Amino acid sequence: MSLDLFTATHADAGEQIGAGTWLFRQRALPEVAALAGGLRLILAQAPWRHLITPGGHRMAVAMTNCGTLGWHSDEAGYRYQPVDPLSGHPWPAMPPAFAELARQAAALAGYPDFHPDACLINRYRPGAGLSLHQDRNEQDHGQPVVSVSLGMEARFLWGGLQRGQTALKLPLYHGDILVWGGPDRLRFHGIAPLQGPPHPEWGLKRINLTFRRAR
């Protein structure tokens, strides 16, 4: 972990998007090789899958998890659980490089006590997106969310605390880290349908690592 990336104060190291939200451009780039290696190990144990929403719809975004808890969706609802329903085994352990990057980014954004126990990993292909939603399945909404972008450029939809409020369209690039919490923790957010040229190394996909403290 290149800890020197995180020695500056958050006020002069990133762009403030909201009262509790900071964007750190390309801060994950020195750790991309470690993140890619960890991702390969995770996928060997818990492959990509398209979950079913409580309404019976197949999600366009493929996903998996690592950590002591994993996020799951089916006709019974949205929830965190310790066991991968596909394998019947615990979710893969969170790689040290993943957890350390999330902790350091959160501290840089002003959240020094963040220790994630879940990492939701989403894979977007061209045309896939994620509608505006709130992250409410975690027990402690005082804990932030740390999001790491890899691969193709995406347009992050950053809405308000009410569903109908106009959403900011924020471009996210390979290596960007977005951290939100505090008064922004329950903002509606999503991803516009992925479009644009392939990433020169990651091809026609965007991978998003979303770190949370679920319990």
Instruction: Give the pLDDT confidence score for residue 1 in this predicted structure.
Output: 40
* pLDDT tens sequence across 157-166: 999 999 989 9
CA–CA separation, 119 and 213 (whole Å):
9
For 203, residues 6+ apart whose C-beta sits below 8 A from its C-beta are 151
- Mean pLDDT of the region 149-173: 96
Q: What's the whole-model pTM score?
A: 0.93
Q: How far is CA 122 from CA 19, 92, 125, in A?
A: 26, 15, 10
Asked whether the predicted pLDDT for residue 114 surpasses 80, the reply is yes
- Mean pLDDT of the region 88-115: 98
Instruction: Give the pLDDT confidence score for residue 4 in this predicted structure.
Output: 38
Asked whether the predicted pLDDT for residue 8 surpasses 70, the reply is no
Give bridge partners of residue 39 from the DSSP assignment.
none
Q: Is the model more confident about 73 or about 4?
A: 73
| Residue 156, phi then psi, degrees to nearest 5 | -80, 130
For 17, residues 6+ apart whose C-beta sits below 8 A from its C-beta are 23, 158, 168, 170, 178, 180
Instruction: Give strand ranges (E) for 39-196.
Output: 62-67, 70-74, 77-81, 118-124, 130-133, 145-151, 154-158, 168-172, 177-180, 189-191
Instruction: Give the pLDDT confidence score for residue 157 in this predicted structure.
Output: 97
* pLDDT tens sequence across 177-203: 999 999 999 999 999 999 999 999 999
Mean pLDDT taken over the chain: 94
- Mean pLDDT of the region 4-26: 73
Q: How far apart are the first and last CA of the chain?
A: 26
Going along the chain from its start, the domains and CATH numbers come out as: 15-46+56-185+204-212 (2.60.120.590)
What are the binding residues?
133, 135, 189
Instruction: Give the pLDDT confidence score for residue 13 in this predicted structure.
Output: 74
What are the binding residues for Fe cation?
133, 135, 189
